[in-house]
């Protein structure tokens, strides 16, 4: 049994929030990194007249934007999981890392597919599979719309009148509940006999 009797929904939701979102964020980040690396390699090797596609300033601009998005997604992901590792309240950070990380990766995936042109659609290059895999990180643990609604709820909750009925308990963020549990104990290795 996980948790207390009657807490099944809370256990499932906390698992989704505390571990599902970081896992999906990491998956999205890995796909994002791969899309940027594959595209940079493709552009630097794809011949165009006397040079390569990478020689075109408009192509370099787009590749630079892809790199910038990747850096933003990496910072969001690392910041959120660092807070979680340190048992700090970080529901909003986890939500943002998952939702915005996917959006940034999807924009980069679209750019990568356009820069690969028809070659990205074939099975010879990995970029088509990477782009398709990116689509799978959107819905699990809440779509972008749901994530943004949760962020708005948090923001509005902090700015609403709290003079409601005394029996209404404020919702504690899952990461706060997680932090209250403290660090899990690690059993000592048995001593040799």
Kindly tell me if the per-residue pLDDT of 163 is higher than 60. no
The predicted-structure confidence for 54-71, as pLDDT tens digits, reads as follows: 999 999 999 999 999 999
**What average pLDDT is seen over the chain?**
83
Q: Residue 66's pLDDT is what?
A: 97
Q: Residue 148's pLDDT is what?
A: 83
- Could you give the C-alpha distances from 68 to 31, 62, 107, 165, in angstroms and in order? 15, 10, 11, 48
pTM of the complete model: 0.76
Kindly tell me if the per-residue pLDDT of 40 is higher than 60. yes
User: What is the C-alpha to C-alpha distance for residues 90 and 88, in angstroms, rounded to an integer?
Assistant: 6
42 φ/ψ sector (left φ>0, alpha ψ -120 to 50, else beta): alpha
pLDDT higher at 16 or 100 = 100
- Could you give the C-alpha distances from 133 to 136, 143, 150, in angstroms and in order? 5, 16, 25
Kindly tell me if the per-residue pLDDT of 179 is higher than 70. no
The predicted-structure confidence for 117-136, as pLDDT tens digits, reads as follows: 888 888 888 999 999 999 88
Q: Residue 137's pLDDT is what?
A: 84
Q: Residue 19's pLDDT is what?
A: 80
User: What is the C-alpha to C-alpha distance for residues 148 and 35, in angstroms, rounded to an integer?
Assistant: 25
Kindly tell me if the per-residue pLDDT of 166 is higher than 50. no
Rg for the chain, CA atoms, rounded: 22
Q: Residue 118's pLDDT is what?
A: 86
DSSP character string of 17-52: IIIIHHHHHHHHHHHHHHHHHHHHHHHHHSEETTEE
Average pLDDT for residues 27-35, to the nearest whole number? Answer: 96
């Amino acid at each position: 049994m996980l948790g207390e009797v009657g807490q099944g929904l809370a256990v499932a939701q906390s698992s989704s929030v505390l571990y599902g979102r970081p896992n999906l964020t990491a998956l999205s980040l890995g796909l994002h990194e791969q899309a940027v690396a594959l595209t940079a390699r493709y552009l630097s090797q794809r011949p165009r007249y006397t040079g390569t596609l990478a020689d075109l300033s408009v192509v370099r601009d787009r590749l630079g934007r892809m790199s910038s998005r990747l850096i933003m997604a990496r910072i969001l992901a690392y910041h959120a999981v660092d807070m979680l590792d340190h048992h700090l309240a970080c529901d909003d950070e986890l939500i943002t890392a998952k939702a915005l990380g996917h959006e940034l990766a999807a924009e980069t995936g679209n750019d990568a597919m356009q820069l690969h042109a028809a070659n990205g659609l074939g099975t010879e290059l990995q970029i088509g599979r990477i782009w398709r895999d990116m689509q799978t990180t959107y819905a699990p643990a809440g779509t972008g719309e749901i994530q943004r609604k949760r962020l708005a709820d948090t923001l509005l909750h902090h700015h609403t009148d709290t003079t409601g009925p005394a029996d209404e308990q404020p919702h504690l963020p899952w990461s706060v509940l997680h932090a209250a549990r403290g660090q899990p104990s690690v059993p000592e290795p048995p001593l040799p006999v």
